């Protein structure tokens, strides 16, 4: 059986994602679509709107055959580490192709970019280092570096999905047998769109905004969300950063600057600014607005806040990032099950199907993340221990 992989967040799963999965299957003629999905905390440093099980169910209903979790230490990361984790899992699960949404660029563009990157690696790192010292954000630095080697390609390096695509290409090219790259042009909405335009495509950002604004009228979202997503959203409590604000504020107040400095990515003395600004902030967004600087963008701060909330220490994260991630199975359908039967033995990644006393150390940070996520609302169940994959 041939598998194509996608790296996703589904926050929530919408018609754009449905189209993406259909195209992945169609364009690669794969038998199985494997989704590697962020768990309860996402790439941009946000808690997921509904838990990973609800989002895995949406994914299965929307066409994924196998849903595997991207561990939190890889999911709440800039593009590079996020891609490293995702590609490593897809490679480990023996996918032959990776399909990703993008605003620009052909497969050839992405391949060329990856080749140039690796050919010029040392030179690029030097350029990157120079950029680093000029005080701009990581994303801006990365864009500048990438621009230098993509000037002749049809790639717009300023859109978030393209940046992720480039990171996938770069990471994929490290492997002896790289997967086929299948970029899909995104339809309708752009990543950052804040309103739901007419038509059947809207960005997840716009959908979340609509959900928050008119919680009672989920039905109005029927145009842009599959029915299965609406059903899952109806059944689950919606979570956002504000749910964790009292806990974050408490943690920043109770820890000394020295203790905060042990947290992953707590650099440049930002701990003092956090402790100073948290005192009078009355909401999460007011807090981030107050702390924000040129060097510390909103997204960078959101990620830092996840690291604080989950108490992820520098040494713990660095160690985890130096090893390949483990695959935690969230769900599958019959095709996914057949694929598992056929290929499981050839997988080069450990596959956790159930977290229990004997394997929980392998999943330590994620069990912790799940339990903290569940504090947002008492209706949220234990996320890992004793849970079994969804069978559709």
Residues that bind its own copies (CB under 8 A): 246-247, 249-251, 253-255, 259, 279, 282, 309-311, 368, 371-372, 375, 378, 382
Report the 3 state secondary structure along 103-143.
CCCCHHHHHHHHHHHHHCHHHHHHHHHHHHCCCCCHHHHHH
372 assigned to a ligand binding site: no
Helix (H, G, I), strand (E, B) or coil at 185: strand
How many CB atoms neighbour CB 217 within 10 A?
10
Pick the closer one to its own copies by CB: 28 or 255: 255
Strand-pair partners of 98: 5, 181
**Strands, DSSP E only, in the chain?**
3-8, 32-38, 66-70, 97-102, 180-185, 327-332, 351-352, 390-391
**In the complex, least distance from residue 301 CB atom to its own copies, rounded to whole angstroms:** 19
Is 101 known to sit in a ligand binding site? yes
**Which candidate, 61, 46, 60, places its Cα nearest to that of 11?**
46
On whether 236 is known to bind a ligand per the annotation, the reply is no
Dist. CA 134–CA 172, nearest whole Å: 30
Shortest distance, position 80 Cβ to its own copies, whole Å: 26
Quote the least distance from Cβ 89 to its own copies, whole Å: 26
Residue 165 annotated as part of some ligand binding site: no
* Pick 104 or 251: Cβ nearer its own copies: 251
| C-beta closer to its own copies: residue 52 or 94 | 52
Measured from the CB atom, the residue of 19 and 284 that comes closer to its own copies is 284
19 is in an annotated binding site: yes
**In terms of DSSP bridges, do strands 327-332 and 3-8 run parallel, antiparallel, or are they unpaired?**
unpaired
Closer residue to its own copies (CB): 25 or 371: 371
40 is in an annotated binding site: no
Q: How far is the CB of 277 from its own copies (least distance, A)?
A: 14
Question: CB-side exposure of 75: number of CA atoms within 13 Å?
Answer: 27
11 labeled binding residue:
yes
- Token pair in block for residue 128: 């990157």
Nearest-approach distance from CB 246 to its own copies, in angstroms: 7
Positions at the binding site: 7-20, 101, 161, 186
Positions at the binding site for ATP: 7-20, 101, 161, 186
């Amino acid at each position: 059986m041939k598998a194509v992989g996608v790296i996703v967040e589904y926050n929530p799963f919408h018609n754009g994602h449905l189209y993406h999965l259909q195209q992945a299957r169609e364009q690669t003629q794969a038998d199985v679509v494997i989704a590697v999905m962020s768990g309860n905390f996402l790439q941009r440093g946000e808690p997921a709107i509904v838990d990973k099980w609800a989002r895995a169910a949406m994914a299965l209903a929307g066409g994924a055959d196998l849903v595997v979790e991207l561990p939190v230490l890889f999911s709440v990361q800039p593009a590079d580490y996020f891609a490293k984790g995702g590609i490593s899992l897809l490679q480990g699960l023996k996918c032959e192709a990776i399909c990703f949404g993008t605003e620009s660029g052909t497969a050839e563009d992405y391949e060329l970019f990856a080749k140039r990157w690796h050919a010029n690696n040392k030179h690029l790192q030097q350029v990157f280092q120079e950029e680093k010292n000029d005080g701009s954000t990581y994303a801006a630095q990365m864009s500048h570096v990438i621009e230098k080697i993509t000037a002749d390609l049809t790639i717009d390096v300023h859109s978030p999905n393209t940046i992720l695509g480039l990171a996938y290409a770069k990471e994929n090219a490290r492997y002896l047998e790289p997967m086929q790259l299948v970029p899909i042009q995104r339809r309708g909405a752009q990543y950052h769109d804040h309103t739901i335009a007419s038509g059947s495509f809207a960005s997840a950002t716009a959908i979340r905004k609509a959900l928050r604004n008119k919680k009672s009228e989920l039905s109005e979202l029927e145009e842009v969300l599959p029915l299965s997503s609406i059903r899952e959203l109806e059944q689950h409590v919606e979570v956002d950063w504000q749910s964790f604000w009292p806990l974050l504020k408490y943690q920043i107040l109770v820890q000394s600057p020295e203790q905060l400095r042990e947290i992953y990515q707590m650099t440049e003395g930002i701990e003092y600014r956090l402790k100073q600004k948290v005192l009078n902030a009355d909401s999460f967004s007011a807090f981030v607005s107050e702390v924000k600087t040129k060097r510390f963008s909103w997204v960078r701060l959101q990620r830092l806040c996840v690291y604080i909330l989950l108490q992820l220490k520098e040494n713990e994260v660095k160690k985890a990032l130096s090893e390949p991630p483990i695959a935690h199975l969230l769900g599958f359908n019959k095709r996914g099950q057949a694929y598992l039967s056929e290929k499981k033995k050839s997988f080069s990644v450990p596959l956790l199907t159930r977290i229990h006393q004997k394997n929980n150390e392998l999943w330590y940070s994620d069990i912790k993340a799940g339990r903290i996520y569940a504090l947002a609302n008492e209706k949220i169940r234990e996320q890992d221990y004793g849970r079994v994959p969804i069978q559709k």
